[in-house]
C-alpha cells in the first residue's frame, strides 16, 4: 500500500505563482538542452468518443517523472456537463516509480504555457518593452499576459483583441484587477494590436493567421502558442520569413507547428531558418536577441517536460503547505 496525494484545481491554484513557474520552466528547458531529459513523443489514442493524449517525461536533474493525460471529447458538455478538454497529471517518485500524486492538469497547463512565453521574452524581447498586443483572450491569453508582465514589469499598455468582443471586454476588466499594468484596453482590429507593440502574443484557436507580417515594426518580439497541427497556423509566412525563429523543441515543431511547416512546404524557408530551441538560448549555446531592431519569434507547441517540471513544483509546495488529500491505495 502507498499514499497518493490528490490535488484539486483549487490546490494547484493556491500553491503556484508565476515567478517560480518561469524559473522552473527555465530549468526544465536547460535540462532538455543539456541532453539529460527524456521526452518521448506523445501517444495518441482515438477512442470512440474522443481523443486521448499521453504525455510522459523524465527530468533526472530536477527529479521529475510524470505523465499528463489530456482528453478531447466533443460530446462532454452536452452529454455529461463536463468540459470538452480535460487533463490530469500523474506524478511518480523517481526512486520507486510509484505514483505519488494525481493532480488537476488544466490550470497547471495554462501556467506552464504562459511561463514558457515569459521565459522566452526574457531572452528575446527588448529590455525596455512597454507595450503588449494580445490576440485571444481565453484561458491561455490570461497566463500569457501574466507571465510576460512578470518578465517585463515596465509594461505600461496592453492592447487586447478577440473575435468575441464581449469576451475581450471581460478579460480586460478581470486582468486590470489582477495585474498592475496601467492600461489594458480592447482594440477594434488586428492591425491595432500589432501597431506600436513591442511584444505580440497569439493565444487563439484560429486556424489561419491572425495578423499580417507586413504590419510588424522592427524590434518586435512575437510569442505564438495557439496552433498545434501541421495545417493550422496563427502566424503568416511573411512574419516567419522576417523573424529570428526560436522553437520549444525542433522535432515537435516540425511535426506539429503549421506556423513553421506551411512556410517550409511553400518553399519560402527551410528548417535551417529556425535559429534555435529555447533551451539553446537559455544555456548560451546560441544567441538570443542581438540588437534592438531584429524581429524575434518564439513558437511553442507544448512539451511534456513542462508538465513534469511544474507537477513536481506543485507537489513539493503542496506538501510544505499541507494542501490536498492523501489517499492510501
Question: Nearest CA to 281 among 263, 296, 266?
Answer: 296
Sequence-distant (≥ 6) Cβ neighbours of residue 153 within 8 angstroms: none
Q: Could you give the count of Cα atoms lying within 13 Å of 124 in the half-sphere of its Cβ?
A: 32
Of the candidate residues 33, 64, 92, 109, the single one contacting ligand NAD (CB under 6 A)? 109
Q: Does 136 bind ligand NAD (CB under 6 A)?
A: yes
Closest distance of CB 174 from ligand NAD, Å: 13
Cβ proximity of 65 and 308 under 8 Å:
yes
Stretch that binds ligand NAD, among 25-33, 132-140, 148-156, 212-220 (CB under 6 A): 132-140
Cβ proximity of 91 and 315 under 8 Å:
yes
Q: Does 226 bind ligand NAD (CB under 6 A)?
A: yes
Closest distance of CB 209 from ligand NAD, Å: 8
Q: Is 30 helix (H, G, I), strand (E, B) or coil?
A: helix
Of the candidate residues 93, 179, 228, 283, the single one contacting ligand NAD (CB under 6 A)? 228
CA pair distance 139, 293, nearest whole angstrom: 31
* DSSP-H helix ranges across the chain: 9-15, 18-34, 106-124, 139-151, 165-178, 190-194, 237-242, 250-256, 258-265, 278-282, 304-321
Closest distance of CB 118 from ligand NAD, Å: 13
Stretch that binds ligand NAD, among 4-12, 22-30, 124-132, 202-210 (CB under 6 A): 202-210
Q: Does 204 bind ligand NAD (CB under 6 A)?
A: yes
The site map against ligand NAD for 149-168 (x = CB under 6 A) is ------------xxxx--x-
The site map against ligand NAD for 285-314 (x = CB under 6 A) is ---------------xxx------------
Q: Does 118 bind ligand NAD (CB under 6 A)?
A: no
CA pair distance 62, 70, nearest whole angstrom: 23
CA pair distance 16, 207, nearest whole angstrom: 31
Stretch that binds ligand NAD, among 4-12, 47-55, 137-145, 315-323 (CB under 6 A): 137-145
Buried b (16+ CB within 10 A) or exposed e, 124-161: bbbeebbbbbbbbbbbbbbbbbbbbbbbbeebebbbbb
CA pair distance 252, 250, nearest whole angstrom: 6
Of the candidate residues 151, 203, 274, 313, the single one contacting ligand NAD (CB under 6 A)? 203
Q: Is 238 helix (H, G, I), strand (E, B) or coil?
A: helix
Q: Residue 112 or 323: which CB sits closer to ligand NAD?
A: 112
Number of residues lying near ligand NAD (CB under 6 A): 25
Q: Is 271 marked active-site?
A: no
Of the candidate residues 4, 184, 225, 311, the single one contacting ligand NAD (CB under 6 A)? 225
Q: β-strands 64-72, 51-59: how paired? A: antiparallel
Q: Does 254 bind ligand NAD (CB under 6 A)?
A: no
Which residues are known catalytic residues?
Answer: 68
Residues that bind ligand NAD (CB under 6 A): 109, 113, 135-141, 161-164, 167, 203-206, 210, 225-226, 228, 300-302
Amino acid at each position: 500500500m502507498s499514499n497518493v496525494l490528490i490535488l484539486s484545481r483549487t490546490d494547484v491554484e493556491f500553491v503556484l505563482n508565476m515567478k517560480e513557474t518561469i524559473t522552473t520552466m527555465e530549468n526544465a528547458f536547460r535540462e532538455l538542452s543539456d541532453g539529460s531529459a527524456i521526452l518521448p513523443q506523445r501517444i495518441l489514442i482515438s477512442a470512440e468518443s474522443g481523443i486521448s493524449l499521453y504525455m510522459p517525461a523524465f527530468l533526472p536533474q530536477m527529479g521529475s517523472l510524470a505523465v499528463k493525460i489530456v482528453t478531447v471529447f466533443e460530446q462532454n458538455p452536452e452529454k455529461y456537463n463536463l468540459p470538452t478538454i480535460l487533463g490530469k497529471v500523474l506524478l511518480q517518485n523517481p526512486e520507486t516509480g510509484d505514483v505519488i500524486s494525481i493532480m488537476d492538469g488544466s490550470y497547471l497547463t495554462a501556467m506552464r504555457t504562459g511561463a514558457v512565453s515569459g521565459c522566452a521574452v526574457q531572452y528575446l524581447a527588448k529590455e525596455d518593452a512597454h507595450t503588449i498586443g494580445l490576440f485571444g483572450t481565453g484561458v491561455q491569453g490570461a497566463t500569457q499576459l501574466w507571465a510576460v508582465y512578470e518578465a517585463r514589469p515596465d509594461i505600461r499598455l496592453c492592447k487586447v483583441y478577440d473575435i468575441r468582443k464581449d469576451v475581450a471586454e471581460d478579460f480586460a476588466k478581470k486582468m486590470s484587477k489582477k495585474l498592475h499594468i496601467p492600461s489594458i484596453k480592447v482594440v477594434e482590429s488586428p492591425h491595432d494590436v500589432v501597431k506600436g507593440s513591442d511584444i505580440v502574443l497569439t493565444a487563439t484557436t484560429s486556424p489561419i493567421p491572425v495578423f499580417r507580417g507586413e504590419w510588424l515594426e522592427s524590434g518586435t518580439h512575437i510569442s505564438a502558442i495557439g496552433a498545434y497541427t501541421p495545417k493550422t497556423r496563427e502566424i503568416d509566412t511573411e512574419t516567419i520569413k522576417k523573424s529570428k525563429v526560436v522553437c520549444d523543441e525542433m522535432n515537435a515543431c516540425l511535426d506539429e507547428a503549421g506556423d513553421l511547416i506551411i512556410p517550409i512546404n511553400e518553399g519560402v524557408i527551410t528548417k535551417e531558418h529556425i535559429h534555435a530551441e529555447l533551451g539553446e538560448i537559455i544555456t548560451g549555446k546560441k544567441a538570443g536577441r542581438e540588437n534592438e531592431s531584429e524581429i524575434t519569434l518564439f513558437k511553442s507547441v507544448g512539451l511534456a517536460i513542462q508538465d513534469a517540471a511544474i507537477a513536481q513544483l506543485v507537489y513539493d509546495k503542496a506538501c510544505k503547505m499541507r494542501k490536498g488529500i492523501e489517499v492510501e491505495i
